[in-house]
Amino acid sequence: MHIIGIDHIQIAMPSGEEEAARAFYEGLLGLREVPKPTHLAARGGCWFEGQGVKIHLGVEAEFRPARKAHPGLLVRDLSSLIERLEDAGFRTMIDEPLDGYDRRYVSDPFGNRLELMERR
């Protein structure tokens, strides 16, 4: 048995904040919301998909944002995404260079850290 890939990334969010999740992950990052299975929908949260990525936001009762652990999301046109995020009031952060990539960090509306990476 061998691991062959990653099906999805699970990110925690606070209860009742689905609209903020949609505004960020769909409205700003450009992912599309997909329906959660009926038996899971009652738990709250949202699922999003994009080209080659699935992000599941799940409600965590005693929510604490992930400030160190994070997904590294590959993007096209990082500079225009940064502009869109900053125009919407999200601060992006530069980190040390990484060979072959331009990258920035941003926190989602709940404080979860995301790395946005574009191959050079």
Residue 36 is part of a domain; what is its CATH number?
Answer: 3.10.180.10
Mean predicted confidence (pLDDT) in 70-98: 96
Give the pLDDT confidence score for residue 1 in this predicted structure.
79
CA distance 57 to 45: 5
Average pLDDT over residues 23-48: 97
Q: Please report which residue ranges of 1-120 form alpha helices under DSSP H.
A: 18-21, 38-41, 78-87
66 in a domain, yes or no? yes
In which domain, by residue range, is 15 found? 9-119
Residue 70, Cβ density class (10 Å: 0-12 exposed, 13-18 middle, ≥19 buried): middle
In a domain, 63, yes or no: yes
DSSP letter (8 states) at residue 70: -
2, part of any domain: no
1 found inside a domain: no
Quick check: pTM over 0.75?
yes
What average pLDDT does this structure show over 70-99? Answer: 96
- Model confidence pLDDT, tens digit, residues 105-117: 999 999 999 999 9
Q: Which pLDDT score, from 0 to 100, does residue 114 have?
A: 98
Assigned domain for 67 exists = yes
Averaged pLDDT for residues 90-101: 94
**Total domains present in the chain:** 1
Is the pLDDT score of 30 beyond 90?
yes
Stated length of the chain: 120
Structure tokens at 48: 């999003």
